[in-house]
Amino acid sequence: MSTPIWITLLNIFGVLIATVILAAVLTWGERRLLGFWQDRPGPNRVGPFGTLQVLADMIKLFFKEDFIPRFADIPVFVLAPTVVMATMLIAFAVVPMSPGIGVVDLNIGLLFVLAMSSIAVYSIILGGYASNNKYALLGGLRAAAQTVSYEVFMGLSLMGVVMMSGSFNLRDIVNAQAERWFIMPQFVGFIVFFIAGIAESRRTPFDLPEAEHELTAGFHTEYSGMKFGMFFVGEYLAVILISALITTLFLGGWHGPWLPPIIWFCLKTAILVAIFILLRASLPRPRYDQLMKFGWKVMLPLALINLLVTAGVLLWTA
Amino acid sequence: MIASQLRSMWLVFKHLFRRNVTVQYPDQKPYLAPRYRGRIILTRDPNGDERCVACNLCAVACPPDCISLQKTEDPDGRWRPEYFRINFSRCIMCGLCEDACPTYAIQLTPDFEMCEYDRQNMVYEKEDLLINGPGKYHDYSFYQVAGKAITGKDKGEAENEAAPINIKSLNL
Amino acid sequence: MPTITIDGEKYQVDGEQNLLSTCLTLGLNVPYFCWHPEMGSVGACRQCAMMEYKDSEDQHGRLIMSCMTPIRDGGIYSVKDEVAEEFRGSIIEDLMTNHPHDCPVCEEGGECHLQDMTEMSGHTMRRYRGTKRTHRNQYLGPFINHEMNRCITCYRCVRFYNDYAGGEDLQALGRNHQVYFGRQEEGRLENGFSGNLVEVCPTGVFTDKTFSSHFVRKWDLQTAPSVCEHCAVGCNTAPGARESGNSNEPILRRITNLYHHDINGYFLCDRGRFGYEYINSATRIQNVLSVRQEDVISSTAEKGDRMHREINPQEAVLHLAEQIAMANQGKRNLIGIGSPRTSLENNYALRKLVGSGNFYSGLSQKDQELLHLVSTIQQDDRIQSPSTPEIENADAILILGEDIYNTAPRISLAVRQAARNRQKQQAKSLKIPLWQDSSVRQLEGDYSPIIFAGTELSNLEKITSNTLFESPEKVASFACNLALAISDPTSLSPDLEPSLLELITHTAGILRGSSKPLIISGTSSKHADTLKSVAQVATVLSDYKKQPTMLYLACDEVNSLGLIQFFNDGKGNLDELLERLKKNTDNQIPTSLMILENDLYRRLDKKSLEQLLSQADEIILLDTLLNPTSKRADWIFPASVTAESQGTFINNNGLAQRFYAVYEGKGFIQESWRWLMDAVNFCTEKPANLSAIAEWQHSTDLSDAIAREFPVLKALDSLGPDEDFRIDGLKVARQSARYSGRTAIHAEKQVSENPPLQDPDAPMSFSMEGIHNPNRSPLQANIWSPGWNSNQSIFKFQEEVGGERRGGPSGIRIERPQRVMPEWPAPSTPPEVAADPSHVQMLPLYRLFGSEELSNQAMGISEVIEAPFVMVNHIDAKAFDIHQRELIELETSCGTYRAEVRISPTIPSGTVGIPYGLPDFETLSPLLPGYASLRPAEAPAITED
Residue C463 and residue C598 in one domain: no
Instruction: Assess whether pLDDT exceeds 90 at residue C490.
Output: no
The CA distance from B108 to the nearest CA of chain C, in Å, is 18
Paired residues of C335 in beta bridges: C593
Give the span between the Cα atoms of C286 and C667, in whole angstroms: 6
Residues in Cβ contact with A298 at an 8 Å cutoff, skipping those fewer than 6 apart? none
Q: For position C660, what pLDDT does the model report?
A: 95
Q: What percent of chain C has pLDDT over 90?
A: 76
Do residues A167 and A105 make contact, with C-beta atoms less than 8 angstroms apart? no
> Cβ of C579: how many Cβ atoms within 10 Å?
11
According to the model, what pLDDT value does residue C836 have?
A: 66
* C-beta separation of A230 from A84 below 8 A: yes
The answer, yes or no, to whether the previous bond of C929 is cis (omega within 30 of 0) is yes
C744 to B68: CB separation less than 8 angstroms, yes or no: yes
Query: DSSP E strands: which ranges in C679-792?
Result: 732-733, 764-765
Q: Which chains touch A (3 or more CB pairs under 8 A)?
A: B
Which pLDDT band holds residue C828 (cuts at 50, 70, 90)?
low
Among candidates B9, B20, B24 on the partner chain, residue whose Cβ is nearest the Cβ of A39: B20
How much is the ipTM here? 0.90
Q: How many distinct helices (H) and strands (E) make up chain A?
A: 12, 0
SS (H, E, C) C546-590: CCCEEEEEECCCCCHHHHHHHHCCCCCCHHHHHHHHHHHCCCCCC
In angstroms, the CA C344 to CA C812 distance is 14
Strand order, beta sheet including C647-650? C647-650, C655-659, C811-813
Judged against a pLDDT cut of 60, whether residue C382 lies above it is answered with yes
The DSSP element (H or E) to which A9 belongs, if any, is helix A5-37
Q: Check CB contact of C372 with chain B, cutoff 8 Å.
A: no
Identify the band that residue C837 occupies on the pLDDT scale cut at 50, 70 and 90. low
Q: Burial of A25 by CB count in 10 Å (0-12 exposed, 13-18 middle, 19+ buried)?
A: middle
* Amino acid in the structure at residue C103: C
Residues in chain B with CB shorter than 8 Å from the CB of C109 are 55
C129 vs B contacts (CB less than 8 Å): 160
- How far is A306 from A156, CA to CA, in rounded Å? 9
Each residue's pLDDT tens digit, B67-122:
999 999 999 999 999 999 999 999 999 999 999 999 999 999 999 888 899 999 99
Of C132, C174, C752, the CB nearest to B162: C132
DSSP string, C235-251: -EEEEEEEE-TTT--EE
Of A225-239, C102-116, C792-806, which range is least confident?
A225-239
d(CA C917, CA C861): 14
**C-alpha neighbours within 13 Å on the C-beta side of residue C917:** 23
The answer on pLDDT for C534 being more than 90 is: yes
- Please give the average per-residue pLDDT across C92-104, as a whole number: 93
DSSP-assigned states of every residue in A70-108: TTS-HHHHHHHHHHHHHHHHHHGGG---BTTB-S---TT
Yes or no: say if C169 and C123 are a contact pair by the CB < 8 Å rule: no
Residue from A30, A31, A34, A36 whose CB has the most chain B CBs within 10 Å, to mutate:
A36
DSSP C161: I
Chain B contact set for C133 (CB, 8 A)? 162, 165
Contact (Cβ atoms closer than 8 angstroms) between residue C919 and residue C907: no
Q: Which residues pair with C618 in a beta bridge?
A: C592
Mean pLDDT of chain C: 91
Inter-chain touch C743–B90, beta carbons under 8 Å = yes
Q: Does the beta-carbon distance from A283 to B5 stay under 8 Å? A: yes
- Residue B19 with chain A: CB contacts under 8 Å: 39
**Band of pLDDT at residue C469, cut at 50, 70 and 90:** very high
Question: Which domain-ending residue is among C718, C734, C756?
Answer: C718
Q: Is C619 helix (H, G, I), strand (E, B) or coil?
A: strand
| Tens digit of each residue's pLDDT (9 = 90 or more) over A56-96 | 888 888 888 888 888 888 888 888 888 888 888 888 888 88
Do the chains contact at A278 and B21, CB–CB below 8 Å? no
| Whole-number Å distance between alpha carbons of C890 and A220 | 96
C653 pLDDT higher than 90 = yes
Give a yes or no: residue C777 inside a domain: no
pLDDT tier at C99, thresholds 50, 70, 90: very high
Inspect the interface and report whether the beta carbons of B66 and C150 lie closer than 8 Å: no
| Bigger pLDDT: C153 vs C828 | C153
**Structure confidence at residue A157 as a pLDDT band (50, 70, 90):** confident
Structural domain contains residue C122: no
Q: Answer whether residue C478 is part of any domain.
A: yes
CB atoms within 10 A of CB C582: 12
Torsion of the alpha carbons at C466, C469, C475 and C481, rounded to the nearest 10: -40
Segment C641-650 shows an average pLDDT of 95
- C296 vs A34, higher pLDDT: A34
In chain B, whose CA is at the least distance from the CA of A282? B9
A149 pLDDT more than 90: no
Q: How far is B159 from chain A (nearest CA, A)?
A: 55
Interface of C with B in 149-168 (CB under 8 A): 149-150
- Provide the pLDDT for residue C411: 96
pLDDT at C715 over 80: yes
Between C374 and A104, residue with greater pLDDT: C374
* Helix then strand then coil, % of chain B, to nearest 5: 20, 20, 60
Q: What is the CATH number of the domain that holds C397?
A: 3.40.228.10
Name the residue range of residue C614's domain. Answer: 289-293+305-364+573-655+666-718
Chain B: give the shortest CA distance to residue C102, in Å. Answer: 5
Residues C608 and C615: their CA atoms lie apart, in Å, by: 11
Asked if A37 and B12 come within 8 Å (Cβ–Cβ), the reply is yes
Centroid of chain to Cα C565: 21
Residues of A in contact with B5 (CB under 8 A): 282-283
**Which chain B residues contact residue C208 at CB under 8 A?**
none
Q: What is the pTM of this model?
A: 0.83
DSSP string, C845-900: E--TTTSSTTGGGSHHHHHHPPPPEEEEEHHHHHHHT--TT-EEEEEETTEEEEEE
Q: What is the pLDDT of residue A138?
A: 86
- Contact status, residue C78 vs residue C169, Cβ threshold 8 Å: no
Cβ-nearest to B147 among C100, C216, C217: C100
Q: What is the pLDDT of residues C884-904, one digit of tens each?
A: 888 988 888 888 899 999 999
B128 touches chain C (CB under 8 A): no
- Structural domain spans, chain B: 39-147
Judge if C710 and C627 occupy the same domain. Answer: yes
Identify whether C651 is part of a domain.
yes
Write b or e for each residue in C636-656: b if 16 or more Cβ atoms lie within 10 A of its Cβ, otherwise e.
bbbbbbbbbbbbbbbbbbbbb
Partners of residue B83 in chain C, C-beta under 8 Å: 245-246, 748
Residue C323 has pLDDT above 60, yes or no: yes
Core vs surface per residue C434-464: b (16+ CB within 10 A) or e: ebbbebbeebeeebbbbbbbbbbbbbbeebb
High-pLDDT (> 70) share of chain C, %: 97
Q: Minimum mean pLDDT among A31-35, A146-150, C538-542: which range?
A: A146-150
Length of chain A: 318
Residues with Cβ < 8 Å from C559, sequence gap 6 or more?
C232, C339, C340, C341, C342, C343, C344, C347, C649, C650
Lowest-confidence region among A41-45, B49-53, C20-24, C208-212: A41-45
Residues C549 and C580 in one domain: no
**Residue B136 contacts C, CB cutoff 8 Å:** no
Model confidence band, residue C830 (pLDDT cutoffs 50, 70, 90): low
* Confidence band for C769, pLDDT divided at 50, 70 and 90: very high
Q: Which of A36, A40, A283 sits opposite B16 (nearest CB)?
A: A36
CATH number of the domain to which C614 belongs: 3.40.50.740
Instruction: Calculate how close chain A gets to B20, using CA atoms only, in Å.
Output: 4
Provide the pLDDT confidence category of residue C12 given band limits of 50, 70 and 90: very high
Three-point CA angle C690, C693, C696, nearest 5°: 155
How far is A239 from A202, CA to CA, in rounded Å?
Answer: 9
pLDDT of residue C138: 94
Q: Based on the structure, what is the number of domains in chain C?
A: 4
Contact A121, A144 (CB under 8 A): yes
Touch criterion met for A and C (3+ Cβ pairs within 8 Å)? no
Same domain, yes or no, for C35 and C71? yes
Relative to beta strand C450-454, strand C396-400 is parallel
- Asked if the C-beta of C126 comes within 8 angstroms of chain B's C-beta atoms, the answer is no
- Residue C867 belongs to a domain with what CATH number? 2.40.40.20
Give the nearest partner residue to C105 out of B148, B162, B164, using CB atoms.
B148
Of A40, A41, A281, nearest to B12 by CB-CB distance is A281
Tell me, yes or no, whether C638 lies in a domain: yes
Domain presence at residue C792: no
> In whole angstroms, what is the distance from residue C221 CA to residue C239 CA?
9
Question: For C409-447, what is each residue's pLDDT tens digit?
Answer: 999 999 999 999 999 999 999 999 999 999 999 988 788
C747 touching B (Cβ < 8 Å): yes
Cα C19 to the chain's mean position, in Å?
A: 33
CB contact under 8 A, B122 and C214: no
List, for residues C556-573, the tens digit of each pLDDT value.
999 999 999 999 888 899
Q: Tell me which H or E stretch contains C384.
A: strand C383-384
Judged by a CB distance cut-off of 8 A, whether residue B25 touches chain A is no
**Going by C-beta distance under 8 Å and a sequence separation of 6 or more, which residues neighbour residue C9?**
none
Helices within C329-434 (DSSP H only): 344-354, 365-379, 388-392, 404-407, 409-418, 421-429
Q: Do C332 and C399 share a domain, yes or no? A: no
Provide mean pLDDT across the span B151-156: 91
B9 at interface of A, judged by CB pairs closer than 8 A: yes
User: In Å, what is the CA distance from A107 to each residue of A94, A95, C552?
Assistant: 9, 12, 118
Which pLDDT score, from 0 to 100, does residue C834 have? Answer: 54
The answer to whether residue C404 scores a pLDDT higher than 80 is yes
Residue C303 confidence (pLDDT) above 90: no
Same domain membership, residue C525 and residue C383: yes
Answer whether A282 sits within 8 Å of B11, measured CB to CB.
yes
Residues 204-243 of C with CB under 8 A from B: 212-217, 219-220
Give whichever of A214-223, C243-252, C538-547 has the largest mean pLDDT: C538-547
CB distance B159 to C162 below 8 Å? no
pLDDT of C62 higher than 80? yes
Enter the CATH code of domain B39-147: 3.30.70.3270
Candidate from A37, A40, A279 with C-beta closest to B16:
A37
Q: Which residues of A touch B22 (CB under 8 A)?
A: 39-41
pLDDT tier at C587, thresholds 50, 70, 90? low
